Structure 1
């Protein structure tokens, strides 16, 4: 018997400058499922992730989490998700460790040895105490993704998480994905690159684009 969906996207549409960017996007995701949002730049991949993270409202449609409308308990939904945008969103004057401490306090998480564990697992043990302004783009991406080790979020929403990662970094990210999915988590991510993971569902957003004719 198939698992009941945890996340249901029902006929979502978004409008920008009096133009419909996409419409009728409907998807159901159950525990342990992963979906890649694909398409060219400008088709709305980031916008859809922002809608899922409740950073932007859809023009039409609704989203359900655990069977309930997200709008009925937005804060309960937000407690279950981790959103990482295309930009790392880090304070460059702070070190990687200090950024994770700041993030932990922001989310009311205990500041403990879990932070060092997260940085070590992200391959940052050798540079976790230097200012982020001195790190490479790939290292900054690793710091941002290390946040996923801090929070016990069920739903990961990741905008272009492969950006600036080298082959080793992508392999480590895939290992993170496998672990999260194996624990019943859900992942929605955007990327132009394909992952070497089994069972990745694809959402080609151009199929939901409004006709320009």
Structure 2
């Protein structure tokens, strides 16, 4: 069993995606694995409760709520994302970002050289990276039941503009030579209201076929 090593180089501001927020096997060059503010896009607010399904979009055999679409990456994975969010790619990571200074951020990273223990990997990454987040506070690092093996690293921090943000980064193995990370960030004040959205994201994810 293998799992990815994530590298988080700095805390972002409102809606910023963190530098090297996804799956890496070592210290990635900052310019390529970074997530400087990607281009924003006009986006309708993502529903936080189930809406009438759209027949053409499905996840796990079930229709997606209105306002969502399935995204298929050029590397082969697919995932549900809110319609209208901006898409950008930084190194191995693809980001989807909501309009607005405190917009929500979804990121997906991947590696074909993963590491064996998700919880141990996150714990090691936290020791190195926590100082890059202003007023960092761990919520949890814990194993979760997802694909072959997985763990969530969840934390809060204060953005450059003084707002509290809430993040979860899920690292998981899908095969002996493939692992992914799903990064999800919202305002701390809207975290609970977005739990159904995060659940939809992770439920919809399908890895690339070997």
Give the TM-score normalised by the residue count of structure 2.
0.30
Structure having the higher Rg: 1
Q: Which has the higher contact order (CA 8 A, sep 6+)?
A: 1
